[in-house]
Amino acid sequence: MAFRFALESILRLRASLERQEQTRLEMAARQVYSARERCESLEKERIDLEEKFLISMKAGIESSDLHFHLSARSGLEFAQLEAERALVEAQKRWNEQRTKFLQARRDREVMASIRERQHAEYVTEQARREQQQIDDLFAMRRIRPNG
C-alpha cells in the first residue's frame, strides 16, 4: 500500500497560494524600484536645472528667463514631492505584501511538515510490518521443519 497524504489537496492549495503571494510581492518590488528610479531621475533633473540657472546667473539673466526657471523649479519640486509620496506608498504596499507572502509560506510549511511527519510514520510502520512478516515466515519454517 502506497503512502497517501489525506491533506494533499490542501498542501497543493497552500503551495499555489504561496506562489501567488510571491508573484504579488515581486510585482510590488518592481513598483518600489520604479518609484525609486523616478525619484532619482527627478533629483538629477533638479540638479541640472540648478546648474543651468547658476550658469545663466553668471552670464546675466533676463526676467523672463528668471520667471521660467522659478516656474520650472516649482513644477519640479511638486513632481518630486509626488514621486516621494508614490515611493512611500509603494514601500508600504511591498511591506504589506511581504507579510502576506510570509504568512502563506508559513501555512504551506506547516502542511508540508505534517506531510513529512506522516510519511515518516508510514515508512516506520511499513518497516515494522515487513519485519513482522519476516518474523512470521521464519517462525512458520521453524514449526514445520520438513515442509
Q: How far apart are CA 44 and CA 38, in angstroms?
A: 10
Q: Decide: pTM greater than 0.85.
A: no
Average pLDDT of every residue of the chain: 93
Q: What are the tens digits of pLDDT across the range 122-134?
A: 999 999 999 999 9
Q: What are the tens digits of pLDDT across the range 17-49?
A: 999 999 999 999 999 999 999 999 999 999 999
Q: What are the tens digits of pLDDT across the range 76-111?
A: 999 999 999 999 999 999 999 999 999 999 999 999
Is residue 144 domain-resident? no
Is residue 16 domain-resident? yes
Site of grid cell 504551506: 108
Is residue 45 domain-resident? yes
Is residue 123 domain-resident? no
Total tally of structural domains belonging to the chain: 1
Q: How far apart are CA 39 and CA 77, in angstroms?
A: 11
CB atoms under 10 Å from CB of 111, counted, come to: 18
Q: At what angle do helices 8-59 and 63-143 cross, to 10 degrees?
A: 160
Question: Domain of 77?
Answer: 9-108
